[in-house]
Amino acid sequence: MISVAEAVETIRRALSPLGAEEVAVEEAAGRTLAAPVVAALSQPPFAASAMDGYAVRFAEAQAEGARLSLAGVSSAGERFAGPLPAGGAVRIFTGAPVPEGADHVLVQEEARAEGGEIVVAKAQAKPGNIRAAGIDFREGERLLERGTRLTGPALALAAAAGAARLPVVRRPRVALIANGDELVLPGKDLEPDQIVCSIPYGLGPMIEGWGADATFLGIAPDERSAIRRLVAQATDCDLIVPIGGASVGERDFMRAVFADLGFRPLFEKVAVKPGKPTWFAPGKSAAALGLPGNPASALVMAILLLKPAVARLLGQAGEARLIRARTETPLPATGPRETYLRARLIEGEDGARRVAAFGNQDSSLLSVFARADVLIRRPAGAPPASAGAPVACVAI
């Protein structure tokens, strides 16, 4: 059995980033850059006032009571024509170009207008209140790297730098296939021995949140031909995620059907709890990542393996950021599999973060999963941890 880290590495090696397309900046939220954003202009393009007041020469405006003659106005959008005359001041507004020759903006609260003159009402300590041209970024500067997920602030930066359209990676298409004679869609009356198929309704939004499109193709009964029919519908997908039927039971057909269809298994079990019967098999045009049928196992493995798979297709670095915290409760020793415990973070008043694992970690429990915000990661073969011990957590 391979470790989670090896499984992630295997998946990353087997998949390659998808092609690019161009979208308008207002359409690009949540997309991933396929090429760096390079500034087409400098920001600010000119030295700009940071305050409303008067553009002056510091040396002429330093002393309280100094008088300067008002030479004109510089507004945001319309600059004062010409340089600042000797002994002069230019009325200026925040964001307006600073006239040539001025090296200070006297804020209006520290000045008095008297007829055509400005009187300095408070001695000035040092020149300031001017934003130099290009302090945010300069033309030609590389601002955002390829593989960056476009957040609001990143898009504001791209727009400020003159990018009206952006090269982004095509959204990966992920198909979900449920499997099991016992499963029915939500809202249907249950016959005896049936349960509701729930996992796709959790995976779909998670996948969309990672930047891919998810389609639930339906439930295949435990029958090879039915599974094959659903797989055939996933033709234009990049990833197929069969759920359940992954284990060793006589009716666990998933891996076998995919193998028959030419998908080449690279791993069939992972040394992790929950989620051991997780498998990965790249095919000709798509790769299959099979998740276990137990709901918590499926969702844990989606976070640990499906998320990095989507990140790889998007050309992202995809390193999971770990959250450090101290465990609120003692934790048992782990067995030979790396173990992930559903848990809740508690922000301590002292700024120290604590994390409380739920008491029941059964891999069928969605009631616990829905209340969890992190997974505590315990290494394989770890000894018991006492309350207060530091642990690493993965965000859900």
Ligand X SMILES: Nc1nc2c(c(=O)[nH]1)N[C@H]1C(S)=C(S)[C@@H](COP(=O)(O)OP(=O)(O)OC[C@H]3O[C@@H](n4cnc5c(N)ncnc54)[C@H](O)[C@@H]3O)O[C@H]1N2
Task: Select from 3-11, 121-129, 248-256, 259-267 the region that touches ligand X (CB under 6 A).
Answer: 248-256
Task: Give per-residue burial for 276-308: e unless 16+ CB within 10 Å, then b.
Answer: bbbbbbbeeebbbbbbbbbbbbbbbbbbbbbbb
The residue (of 97 and 293) whose beta carbon lies closer to ligand MOO is 293
Q: Which of residues 160-199 bind ligand X (CB under 6 A)?
A: 178, 180, 182-183, 195, 197-199
Among residues 152, 248, 284, 321, which is the contact residue for ligand X, using CB under 6 A? 248
The residue (of 108 and 198) whose beta carbon lies closer to ligand X is 198
Strand partners, 114: 117
Length of the chain counted residue by residue: 396
The least distance separating ligand X from the CB of residue 293, rounded to whole angstroms, comes to 2
**Opening angle at CA 124, ends 121 and 129, nearest 5:** 110
The listed partner (ligand MOO, ligand X, none) that binds 252, CB under 5 to 8 Å by sort, is ligand X
206: enclosing H helix or E strand: helix 199-209
Interface with ligand X, residue 62, by CB under 6 A: no
Q: What is the dihedral of CA 38, 41, 43, 44, to 10 degrees?
A: 180
Q: In angstroms, rounded to a whole number, what is the distance separating the alpha carbons of residues 86 and 167?
A: 50
The residue (of 74 and 334) whose beta carbon lies closer to ligand MOO is 334
The least distance separating ligand X from the CB of residue 278, rounded to whole angstroms, comes to 8
Q: In angstroms, rounded to a whole number, what is the distance separating the alpha carbons of residues 386 and 363?
A: 24
Interface with ligand MOO, residue 273, by CB under 6 A: yes
Residue whose tokens read 């004679």? 181
Interface with ligand MOO, residue 327, by CB under 6 A: no
The least distance separating ligand X from the CB of residue 192, rounded to whole angstroms, comes to 14
Interface with ligand MOO, residue 292, by CB under 6 A: yes
The listed partner (ligand X, ligand MOO, none) that binds 125, CB under 5 to 8 Å by sort, is none
Reduced to 3 states, what is the DSSP secondary structure of residue 62? coil
| Binding mask of the shown chain, residues 82 to 121, with x at each position contacting ligand MOO by CB under 6 A | ----------------------------------------
Q: Which of residues 333-392 bind ligand MOO (CB under 6 A)?
A: 363
Burial of 44 (0-12, 13-18, 19+ CB in 10 A): middle
Reduced to 3 states, what is the DSSP secondary structure of residue 40? coil
Question: Is the distance from CB of 240 to CB of 255 less than 8 angstroms?
Answer: no
Please report, as ranges, the residues that interact with ligand MOO according to CB under 6 A.
273-276, 292, 294, 297, 363
Please report, as ranges, the residues that interact with ligand X according to CB under 6 A.
178, 180, 182-183, 195, 197-199, 243-249, 252, 274, 276-277, 292-295, 297, 363
